[in-house]
Structure 1
């Protein structure tokens, strides 16, 4: 074995150690998250409750639980939020890293192609026409409006970028800017003419992002979308790496990037639309998490993808903790937390590393 092989093995072992450390941090953060809130629950009791529930009573004893209401608080109120935060973080980070490869722009995030503006338009329409008026529509009406808006916007961007030839990364970005601006204008126009002040407040709060509506009933759809999306893209590292090289290099390798761009665009729009539909507008996660991960694991998507997913989930769990605990008895919109944390981090990365994919 030569020195190069030994170095490669060493780097590979370090990668798996880092992944295990991040997974450990996620598990620890999850237990901490269900312990913190208006009702403070001892860490040991929270861990026992979770272990007892997950292992169906084989691990973790409930004999020393001081207050039986702790079970309901953890299992029915806080744990759904932790799962939601983990899934939303994974989904947004996944969309961010894929979108940055699609448009060959490290400043891209899930919303650069107009997805956020389309989702906002759909949600604004749903709220202002009174979709929150019944129990069923209150749960699914706004989410469906946001999802439909995101998907229709994505289709419009794809169609516009394909006019006059194949869809390139530059045409996708320009089309996204134009369609996004158009959707934002319509949203503002609808709010301007709206007379329902409660609906306007609901639109404003939704646009800031929140996990307050998290529940076990909404988890299955979110889980299916995120898990399937993550599983698909974890095995697309070769195409994603080729996208960073450009169309000319791809042609020499016999790969038609235009087809993959459209396919990836549809998939990321589906995932991002679902994230927006369930949690509202949460910015900066898809932008900064891939950059942080590149600094740790490098630019190769074979290593980058898994690290990005895990760090995205970890970041969102802590953002949710901060949103619930920074101000006593007040829950801040989680989109504000991610922006406050994300902006300085991104400014630092710009100053230190510049706009590149090298990490």
Structure 2
């Protein structure tokens, strides 16, 4: 038993180091892909000059090559890293909060709330005074208001439980979806409806250093917070009755975790629209290998989710020549079959290996 534990610990450490190195490689490799045909020398010369201001590379401090690499590709890769990490960790946390393996960052109606916010901004011009970021900001507000509404409803008539959170999320999601469709129907603006559809498909085409400067710090802070809470997340899998007998009331923690996760999801929706399946599939893939201990599940899930979304975005940029495939569409195409496989795999359960 002790020998097996040492082996599993060694394997975990090896996989953790591999994923860290793979993530670094993914960032460095992903910036070389795109519709613009740039050499490796050009790409890395721009990055080296911007980071270290090497005088011999001063020619790369401006111009078309500089703009493509520094203002378009690198922010996009880093934004994919931050959003993939955020969605994966939120998926892990949501599944623990509601004790449901089918939970993902959008299970509590948060995606529907974000979609409603974006729909109101696009179709009715609400938030136009916010300028070019009005759609993203309205989507963020919609996601946050939805999460608070779910918490409030789940706490009516007693403390929120995992079952009440799921039911409240389903109800709020149905209301938001219905109202979004109603607004689209009465507005009867085909161009705006197409814009809403594109938003709901998800994309990193609007990546910028400003968005990276918001999304990356928020993700890192929230992920570090959850890494310190692995014991409580492990306890949530046992249920409220067991936790109370052990002297821990999960009600307050569940609410705090949900708010923190909603902040990450809200910013992810603000930066890239709605992207599904990342927070659903990645946690299950990690559980198959390392079980449900959140001290391992959280860091591995964060690294794997970040690398996964980076390469999905690369594929979106190169699959269609002179065009771009919506990121949410490609992720769903990849994620849905993987999830179906997990469902039919008899040797796998929510608790890891059977």
* TM-score interval, normalised by the smaller of the two chains: over 0.9
Match of 1:233 in 2: 226
Aligned residue in 1 for 2:304? 311
Separation in 2, partners of 1:323, 1:132: 30
Residue 137 of structure 1 pairs with residue 134 of structure 2: no
- State how far apart, in whole Å, the 1-side matches of 2:278 and 2:302 are: 11
Q: Report the Cα offset of residue 337 of structure 1.
A: 0.7
Q: Indicate conservation of the 8 Å contact 1:132/1:138, yes or no.
A: no
1:91 maps to 2:50: no
| Structure 2: gaps spanning 5 or more residues | none
- Note if 1:74 corresponds to 2:64: no
CA contact (8 A) 1:32 1:43 kept: no
Report the CA distance shift for 1:19/1:47 in structure 2 as closer, same or farther (over 3 A).
farther
2:282 aligned to which of 289, 296, 301? 289
**2:181 corresponds to:** 188
What is the number of residues matched between the two proteins? 351
Partner SS state of residue 35, structure 1: coil
Which stretches of structure 1, 4 residues or more, deviate above 6 A after TM superposition?
none
Per-residue Cα deviation, 1:97-140 (whole angstroms, up to 9, x for no partner):
00000000011001110101111111100111225867x5222x
Partner SS state of residue 215, structure 2: helix
CA RMSD in angstroms, aligned pairs only: 2.1
Deviation sequence 1:255-306 (CA, Å, 0-9, x none)? 1011111111111111111111111010000100101111232210001100
**Cα contact 2:236–2:250 (8 A) shared by 1:** yes
Shift of 1:68: 6.3
Show the counterpart of 1:253: 246
Take 1:279 and 1:19, find their aligned partners in 2: how far apart are those partners?
Answer: 27
Question: TM-score w.r.t. structure 2 length?
Answer: 0.93
The verdict on how the C-alpha distance between 1:342 and 1:57 changes in structure 2, with shifts beyond 3 A counting, is same
Q: Aligned partners of 2:299, 2:189: CA distance in 1, in Å?
A: 45
5 Å-filtered alignment, 1:1-359, equals 4=2, 6-43=3-40, 45-57=42-54, 62=57, 69-130=64-125, 137-139=131-133, 141-352=134-345, 353-358=347-352
Q: Provide TM-score, normalisation by structure 1.
A: 0.92
Please give the secondary structure, in 1, of the residue aligned with 2:157: coil
Q: What does the per-residue CA deviation read over 1:171-203, in whole Å, with 9 as the maximum and x for residues that have no partner?
A: 110111011001100000000011333221111
- Deviation of 1:204 (Å): 0.8
CA-CA distance at 1:325 after TM superposition? 0.7
